[in-house]
Structure 1
Amino acid sequence: MKPLSPQRKNLVLVRAGDGSLHQEWLGFSYGVRDFDVVVSYYSRDAYSRHVVEDGVWAHFCPGGKWEGLYQTLAWIGDALKSYDFVWLPDDDIETSAQSVNTLFELMRRYELSVGQPSLTADSYFTHFIFVNCPGIKVRWSNYIEIMVPCLARDLLLAVLPHFKESMSGFGLDYIWCRLPATGERGAAIIDAVQVRHTRPVGQVLLSKMSERGLSPKEEQAKLDAVFGITEPVTPLVYGLRTITGRNVFGLRRVCWPMVWGHLKLVLRIPPRGRRYGLGRIHQLVRRQLNRKCDLSVLPSERG
């Protein structure tokens, strides 16, 4: 495989197996993409079938997502300095080159250090707060999930050492929202971009970790101890920008635009799904009105 020679200012780095959807993200030619791609294969069979094309590089590295990303970023080496942003999606994400272009564009426009696209309403998801909210362009949050994070280079380098010993990535989702490199209002969900998560959450990961005698919760606890986090962190939104350009800040004040946006979708689906959707909206309201959002910068790592 030819050495990495960056041509763009953005990079997509995906850990890929046999069923990876990354080929759909590439568009019809390198010319339509505002990003390079590195495919980090954890499947040797998939690596052997890699198609060589402009702006796409392949690396074989077995193991989990985050430890594999650590090794692949080491393989990329100094070339990483050429990129402003790096997107780290799972390989079961359905999207397009244009959507990925827009993701990078809005990361730059809103000066974000870590962000993620929202999820389509028919996606598999863990936290309802990450499902697309109609009428909203961007939502500032204390939590960016490990499924589809996009990181500015400086923040990626700051958090990178914690990839090395992590198979699950649990705990990273709120750690990188509060590091010094993140800055004020540096973490957000980008509703202007939607992607579809096509497979149930965590099934393959849990199976592989169990085989190695590992637990996501144990990995999370170790990372929490490093930063002195003692309380569970709830995903919350503390600010948003509507598609009409209105900014709203405050846990309670942002609650109602989100409720209205989600209700527009939920009321159009069949009764069984509608009941579930209304339950998740109710949960969102309870959390936004009753939980606290700690945005303080995390202290230096504890030995």
Structure 2
Amino acid sequence: MIRKNIVIAPCGNKTPVFKDYWLSGGHERNFDLCLLFYHADIDEPDLYAEADYFFHLKNFKFKMIHELLTVIKPEWLGQYEYFYFIDDDIAIDTLSINKMFDTARALDLWIAQASLTSDSHCSWPILMHNPDCYLRFMGQVEVMAPLFNRFALEKCMPSFIVNESSWGLDSVWSKMLDYPTNKLAVIDAIQMKHLNPVGGGELYKKINEDPHESWDAVVEEFGATKNSFTEHGRFLIVDRKRNRVLRMFNKMSEKIDKTKQAYLDYGLSYRIKNRLGIKI
């Protein structure tokens, strides 16, 4: 089966999260997995045998992704439709990854991310899981686990090589896409757990720059707004447990509509015409 989705993720000697979570449970997946190894030496090569693709690029996350998609496998931009760039300290299972791709495709999202579990290490509280929502449209999604469609990726990929830390890239993506209000989303129906403290991942040990200065520099270079973590709209979950008042109004509206329809279909006018034998 030819898959149209791919997970592309950095990995190192101390980050087998892909095996423990992304490929766990033996569930069928709707995505290929490509791992980009950043350490100089590979301690356990057999550990990565389940990945569909493996490249030893020894660089930073988005710089490796840029090299992969512009030099090594540029044809993937035509082969795949959705690209999920997950950090190697993100716990999310196979079925949730499948659902991420399905939801992004169904709603024609340009960039999306899963919501963060309540026990995640978190930089932006607005991205924490909201149990009342299916998803929320945002002005910006976070750099650690964005899912791109092909259109957004081709627009945003030139920014991938501007710094090592990747700080500020997510600010720039919103600018490069002209600040859409219904194409960037955090999907609350899906949750992921950020396992390490912010700045505590393996790759951060290799960074030769101040991430805060990098963030300021890239925002200035692209003329972007530094923080666009603003909600533009939401899909609410309406049931007996959540948003009950709205559910009550919806049910009342349904009853009124059914009463109106019954009158129009079977009211006085219908009965008179039926008695007179007038074809309706």
TM exceeds 0.5? yes
Instruction: Name the counterpart of 1:233.
Output: 227
1:104 aligns with 2:101: yes
Post-superposition offset of 1:106: 0.7
Post-superposition offset of 1:104: 0.6
| 1:9 aligned to which of 4, 9, 17 | 4
Post-superposition offset of 1:234: 4.6
Amino acid at match of 1:127: W
| 2:18 aligned to which of 19, 22, 31 | 22
Amino acid at match of 2:13: D
**Alignment: residue pair count:** 235
Contact 1:42/1:61 (<8 A) preserved: yes
Amino acid at match of 2:6: L
**3-state secondary structure, aligned to 2:212:** helix
Distance 1:12 1:46, change over 3 A: farther
Equivalent residue runs for 1:244-283 within 5 Å: 244=238
Quick one: distance in 2 between partners of 1:116 and 1:37? Answer: 17
Distance 1:117 1:208, change over 3 A: same
Amino acid at match of 2:31: F
Distance 1:104 1:34, change over 3 A: same
Contact 1:17/1:46 (<8 A) preserved: no
Instruction: Name the counterpart of 1:242.
Output: 236
Quick one: distance in 2 between partners of 1:34 and 1:140? Answer: 24
Instruction: Name the counterpart of 2:214.
Output: 219
Higher-Rg structure is: 2
Deviations 1:96-125 (A, max 9, x none): 110000011111111100010001101111
Distance 1:46 1:8, change over 3 A: farther
More divergent stretch after superposition (117-126 vs 171-180): 171-180
Instruction: Name the counterpart of 1:90.
Output: 87
Distance 1:129 1:58, change over 3 A: same
Post-superposition offset of 1:46: 5.1
TM-score (norm 1): 0.71
TM-score (norm 2): 0.77
Instruction: Name the counterpart of 1:278.
Output: none
Contact 1:117/1:189 (<8 A) preserved: yes
1:208 aligns with 2:206: yes
Gap runs ≥5 in structure 1: 1-5, 246-256, 258-303
Gap runs ≥5 in structure 2: 244-280
Amino acid at match of 2:59: G
Deviations 1:205-238 (A, max 9, x none): 55422xx2x1222322332223223x54252212
Quick one: distance in 1 between partners of 2:172 and 2:46? Answer: 36
Instruction: Name the counterpart of 1:171.
Output: 168
Quick one: distance in 2 between partners of 1:51 and 1:228? Answer: 40
| 1:57 aligned to which of 53, 56, 76 | 53
Contact 1:117/1:194 (<8 A) preserved: yes
Deviations 1:261-287 (A, max 9, x none): xxxxxxxxxxxxxxxxxxxxxxxxxxx
Distance 1:11 1:221, change over 3 A: same
Deviations 1:167-203 (A, max 9, x none): 1111221222243487551101000000111111113
**3-state secondary structure, aligned to 1:158:** helix
Quick one: distance in 2 between partners of 1:200 and 1:105? Answer: 29
Quick one: distance in 2 between partners of 1:63 and 1:185? Answer: 33
| 2:76 aligned to which of 29, 54, 79 | 79
**3-state secondary structure, aligned to 1:163:** helix
Instruction: Name the counterpart of 2:116.
Output: 119
Quick one: distance in 2 between partners of 1:206 and 1:19? Answer: 13
Amino acid at match of 2:29: R
